A and B are shown apart, each in its own frame.
Chain A
Amino acid sequence: MHKWLAMVRASWLVGTSYRIAMLTSLGSLVVTVIPVYFIAHALQPLMAKTIQSQGGEYFGFVLIGIVTFMFLGLAVNSLPGVIRGSVSSGTLEAYLTTPTRLSTVLAGAVSYDFLWSFARALILIATGAALGAHIAWGKSLAAVGILGLIVLAYLPFGIFGAALMLWFRTTGPLPKAVIGLSGFLGGVYYPTHVIPSWLHSVSAALPLTYGLRALRRVLLEGAPLASVAMDLGILTSFVVVLCALSVLTFTLALRDARRTGSLAQY
């Protein structure tokens, strides 16, 4: 735990050394949320019926979608980014010469980004609430849990990407494909039942579809967790299967990288 904390602390110090970037990162939230508020209000009459089971209010609906999508992008991109950066700078090699497991190093290296995004997400939702979005604050803890499951379901794609990065020094189209498909067919901006029927099977294969539906019902409608148990069950299955496969793939890639000596060759 102290190793993980040390990694997070170092990332925090690096993050705060880029003061302008930090301020911009917070300032961009306002730029995001205000146009979304107006657009959502303009689209409310059109969307109200289709999102009736998920809060019925389009501003809150899309706000949750945007926040979740932010975490999804992070889950898919952060690990390959850390591998790429640390391999090319030589820090990965330096970390691997310490008696610290690679999983701890990688967890520490990406955690700060998640914590920072979590803080940004809180500001975004609080701003949304101040602008009139109905948030069931009492269900915050459950919502964080569901968000955590969504992240865990998408983190394996990041682990697959990291393995590809070790093998081929590129993730190929994997992150863009996962993020693109999830963005369009996972229910970020509109509920999945409005997409053409022939795309429903693709939508059903995306963890985001189940995660977002459950998250919105809990956080916007204040529904109990039991009422979204089916969605959470499917989401958990994704987590278990994808995590196992991705960890196995990454282990093979790391073994190969040690054999070929490519850990520090960019």
Chain B
Amino acid sequence: MIATATSTVAAGIARGDRERDVVVHVDALVKRFAVRRGWKAMLRHPRAKEYATALSGVSFEVARGEFFGLLGENGAGKTTLFKVLASLVTPDAGTVTVHGFDVVRDSERVRRLLAPVIADERSLNWRLSARENLRLFAALHDLRGAARDQRVCELLELTGIADTGDKMVGQFSSGMKQRLLIARALLSRPSVLLLDEPTRSLDPLGARRFREFLREEIVARQGCTVLIATHKAEEALELCNRVAILDRGVVRAVGTPEELSRRIVGERYRLWTLDPSHPALVALEARGVIHVMERGERDEDGWTPLQLEIPGGPRVASEVLAHMASAGVTVSSFERGRLPLAELIERIVESRGQESARA
């Protein structure tokens, strides 16, 4: 099986992935779904159809070994995109390739390389033990005999459920079921793993442990390329090298959280001053050079922290600092901060929304 997957990858690369490191390539992907109409509309216009656009011209690439986040609110199109990648939903237009294989034309090969972790616990067989669930899916992935049993044991160990491997899945906690779902997805040693809101049914502690497991085991040790869809910004921030922000089926931005922050809203800085209402600061804000995002509590020594946003990059920030010093603003600390990802997403979605409204 490993040999099959490896040769499949090699063949895919040979087929023309110019960028050797690009594992997932999505280009101008469009998917529309028919909207369910009411009885009245159906009787009036029986042949008419209404469509809702789930994905509109989505394009991005994911490199080998990358942890790539798809961020967006509910209904942004994340799950549809994953289903297209997993060849469960056929796209209306555009191309999607995994290791150079088209998800529509070469769906069987894609299924050997890419594994979605279906987050729904009900997709497990609750009347079977974890081991038997894995044995079944191992067989469906063409593993058999000793190799199958060895892989099942390895994965039970890897996901930390070896002790309960012979227990019926119906008796598992949500966290254990999530681990079993991951183990199931890893059976075929996929090179790409899709995770759709994997921590949604976990408590905060369980979710943190699960994220550690993903980072240390799945990406660092197993070397998987991971695409994770989530609406939890902190999850993406903790795990992802890069994120794509999806809004109503459109990719609004792709990059590292830092890049996006710089590109979209400039830099954030934290300033400690004795004169938060100094005329020089007021003037800078009035001219739009700085934006005071948050004014903290004055401490016992009289210093007040200010969260500043200074669009224009480091050069503008250093000019602002020099101006404050020359104007006599007492500053004890001026350091770069980072816009929280959740706020960043909100900004991106809002700004694009305003742009499209103007257009």
Cβ of B90 within 8 Å of any chain A Cβ, yes or no, is yes
Q: How far is the CB of A98 from chain B (nearest CB, A)?
A: 4
In Å, the complex CA distance between A9 and B118 comes to 23
A90 contacts across to B, CB distance below 8 A: 118, 120, 122-123
| Interface residues of A, count at CB 8 A | 30
Cβ of B111 within 8 Å of any chain A Cβ, yes or no, is yes
Judging by beta carbons under 8 Å apart, are B127 and A258 in contact? no
Judging by beta carbons under 8 Å apart, are A97 and B128 in contact? no
In Å, the complex CA distance between A9 and B135 comes to 10
Cβ of A91 within 8 Å of any chain B Cβ, yes or no, is yes
Judging by beta carbons under 8 Å apart, are B89 and A13 in contact? no
Closest to A105 in B: B140
In Å, the complex CA distance between A91 and B140 comes to 13
Judging by beta carbons under 8 Å apart, are A91 and B144 in contact? no
Judging by beta carbons under 8 Å apart, are B90 and A97 in contact? no
Given contacts A3-B139, A260-B34, contact A94 B123 (CB under 8 A): yes
Within 8 A of B (CB), among A1-35: 2-3, 5-7, 9-10, 13-14, 17-18
Given contacts A98-B111, A99-B111, contact A13 B80 (CB under 8 A): no
Judging by beta carbons under 8 Å apart, are A97 and B118 in contact? yes
Judging by beta carbons under 8 Å apart, are A17 and B89 in contact? no
Judging by beta carbons under 8 Å apart, are A98 and B125 in contact? no
Within 8 A of A (CB), among B103-126: 108-109, 111-112, 115-116, 118, 120, 122-123, 125
Within 8 A of B (CB), among A238-266: 255, 258-261, 263-264
Question: Among the listed B89, B123, B135, B137, which residue makes an inter-chain contact with A259, where contact means beta carbons less than 8 Å apart?
Answer: B89
In Å, the complex CA distance between A5 and B170 comes to 23
Closest to B185 in A: A97
A94 contacts across to B, CB distance below 8 A: 118, 123, 137, 184
Q: Is the interface of A mostly helix, strand, loop or mixed?
A: helix
In Å, the complex CA distance between A97 and B109 comes to 11
Q: How far is the CB of A212 from chain B (nearest CB, A)?
A: 36
Judging by beta carbons under 8 Å apart, are B135 and A6 in contact? yes
Q: How far is the CB of A12 from chain B (nearest CB, A)?
A: 11
Within 8 A of A (CB), among B127-163: 127-128, 132, 135-137, 139-142, 144
Judging by beta carbons under 8 Å apart, are A13 and B128 in contact? yes
Judging by beta carbons under 8 Å apart, are A14 and B127 in contact? yes
Cβ of A168 within 8 Å of any chain B Cβ, yes or no, is no
Q: How far is the CB of B83 from chain A (nearest CB, A)?
A: 6
In Å, the complex CA distance between A111 and B34 comes to 35
Judging by beta carbons under 8 Å apart, are B123 and A89 in contact? yes
Cβ of A96 within 8 Å of any chain B Cβ, yes or no, is yes
Within 8 A of B (CB), among A74-100: 89-91, 93-100
In Å, the complex CA distance between A249 and B120 comes to 29
Judging by beta carbons under 8 Å apart, are B140 and A3 in contact? yes
In Å, the complex CA distance between A105 and B140 comes to 9
In Å, the complex CA distance between A105 and B128 comes to 17
Question: Among the listed B34, B80, B88, B139, which residue makes an inter-chain contact with A97, where contact means beta carbons less than 8 Å apart?
Answer: B88
Judging by beta carbons under 8 Å apart, are A2 and B111 in contact? no
Judging by beta carbons under 8 Å apart, are A97 and B115 in contact? yes
Given contacts A7-B136, A90-B118, A100-B140, contact A258 B88 (CB under 8 A): yes
A7 contacts across to B, CB distance below 8 A: 136, 139
B137 contacts across to A, CB distance below 8 A: 94, 98
In Å, the complex CA distance between A2 and B147 comes to 14
Cβ of B60 within 8 Å of any chain A Cβ, yes or no, is no
Judging by beta carbons under 8 Å apart, are A99 and B112 in contact? yes
Closest to A15 in B: B127
Given contacts A97-B86, A97-B115, contact A13 B140 (CB under 8 A): no
B122 contacts across to A, CB distance below 8 A: 89-91
Closest to A14 in B: B127
Closest 8 CB pairs of A and B: A6-B139, A90-B123, A98-B140, A90-B120, A261-B89, A94-B123, A100-B140, A14-B127
Besides A7-B139, A99-B141, A261-B31, 10 other CB < 8 A contacts?
A3-B142, A6-B140, A13-B128, A13-B132, A89-B122, A91-B123, A94-B118, A95-B140, A97-B86, A98-B140
Can you list 22 A-B contacts (CB < 8 A)?
Answer: A6-B135, A6-B139, A10-B128, A10-B135, A13-B127, A17-B127, A89-B122, A89-B123, A90-B118, A90-B120, A90-B122, A90-B123, A94-B118, A94-B137, A94-B184, A97-B86, A98-B111, A100-B140, A258-B88, A261-B31, A261-B80, A261-B83
